[in-house]
């Protein structure tokens, strides 16, 4: 599955099938990507940049962070102005300065980026798409179109993770996504996998792309895990600062592990 194939498929769906309902997982994803502005603008951007406020339940104030990710290599740097901290990820290793957050820097480096860019990341190389289905979100009566995303071996730190997309059958926008978290050092020691559902509540159009500006993360029982009350200042034109890939002397290298050590019997 390539970006070119999905672009061509999206065009074909719009011009040939008109308003016909997509029937395969690839068709649903292509229609969803088109509804969010298409792949061409998103993939050709030098970087994706936005500011997000992450608010855990009961917290007094959100964790505000500026995310900048280079398209293609997916190198990233994040700034946390309120704690005077930063994280950098060069594609192989992550490091941080003054980081006191709840997650390992390597895990957090692309977390918000993936949450906010799923309409396009579903078209990434190494992503496998299931056949389309339908499902509801709790007491929401809408029958959403669903597609499960799995990954080829070696894709990312945790290739056994999955996403299930919930696509609005009228607008074809991404309404929600069920996902697994298996990054060992980001989980409590007695939990091997956590299932979350991110629900997208508000959108805005920036440079022709429809992006989320508010969303919340729940457990499958609808308990609130965290919210993003505001995702703002989106940009698809900011240059990527190459100097941020140079690890400063006072930075701390992240040695966290995505895989839990195998238990051995004594």
Specify the CATH number for the domain of residue 218. 2.50.20
Is 187 a domain residue?
yes
Residue partners of 88: CB distance under 8 A and separation at least 6: 76, 77, 78, 94, 95, 96, 109, 244, 245, 247, 251
The pLDDT value given to residue 262: 60
* 9 phi and psi angles, rounded to 5 deg: -65, -40
- The boundaries of the domain holding residue 11 are 3-235
Strand partners for 218 = 197, 224
Is 108 a domain residue?
yes
The pLDDT value given to residue 158: 76
Give me the residues of the chain with pLDDT under 70, please: 1-19, 154, 156, 159, 261-266
Is 256 a domain residue?
no
Is 245 a domain residue?
no
Total structural domains in the chain?
A: 1
> How crowded is residue 18: how many other Cβ atoms within 10 Å of its Cβ?
7
| Strand 144-151 with 127-129, pairing | antiparallel
Is 23 a domain residue?
yes
Q: How far is CA 205 from CA 70, 208, 211, in A?
A: 20, 6, 6
Is 241 a domain residue?
no
Is 244 a domain residue?
no
Is 252 a domain residue?
no
Cα dihedral 17/22/27/29 (nearest 10): 120
The pLDDT value given to residue 159: 67
Residue partners of 122: CB distance under 8 A and separation at least 6: 29, 32, 33, 129, 147, 149, 163, 165
The token duo for 109 is 């480096």
pTM (2 d.p.): 0.89
Residue 30 near residue 6, CB atoms below 8 Å: yes
């Amino acid at each position: 599955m390539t970006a070119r194939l999905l672009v061509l498929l999206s065009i074909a769906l719009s011009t040939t099938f008109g308003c016909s309902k997509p029937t395969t997982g690839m068709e649903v994803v292509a229609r969803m990507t088109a509804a969010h502005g298409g792949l061409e603008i998103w993939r050709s951007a030098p970087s994706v940049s936005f500011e997000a406020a992450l608010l855990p339940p009961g917290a007094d104030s959100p964790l505000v962070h500026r995310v900048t990710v280079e398209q293609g290599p997916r190198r990233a740097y994040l700034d946390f102005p309120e704690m005077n901290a930063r994280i950098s990820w060069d594609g192989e290793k992550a490091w941080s300065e003054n980081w006191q957050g709840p997650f390992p820097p390597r895990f957090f480096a692309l977390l918000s980026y993936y949450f906010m860019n799923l309409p396009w990341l579903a078209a990434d190389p190494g992503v496998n798409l299931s056949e389309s289905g339908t499902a509801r979100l709790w007491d929401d009566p809408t029958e959403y179109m669903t597609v499960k995303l799995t990954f080829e071996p070696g894709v990312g730190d945790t290739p056994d993770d999955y996403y299930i997309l919930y696509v609005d059958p009228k607008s074809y926008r991404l309404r929600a996504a069920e996902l697994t978290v298996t990054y060992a050092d980001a989980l409590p020691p007695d939990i091997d996998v956590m299932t979350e559902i991110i629900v997208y509540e508000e959108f805005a159009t920036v440079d022709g792309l429809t992006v989320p500006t508010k969303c919340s993360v729940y457990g499958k029982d609808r308990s609130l895990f965290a919210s993003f009350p505001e995702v703002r200042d989106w940009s698809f034109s900011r240059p990527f600062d190459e100097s941020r890939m140079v690890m400063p002397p006072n930075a701390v290298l992240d040695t966290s592990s995505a895989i839990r050590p195998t238990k051995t019997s004594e």
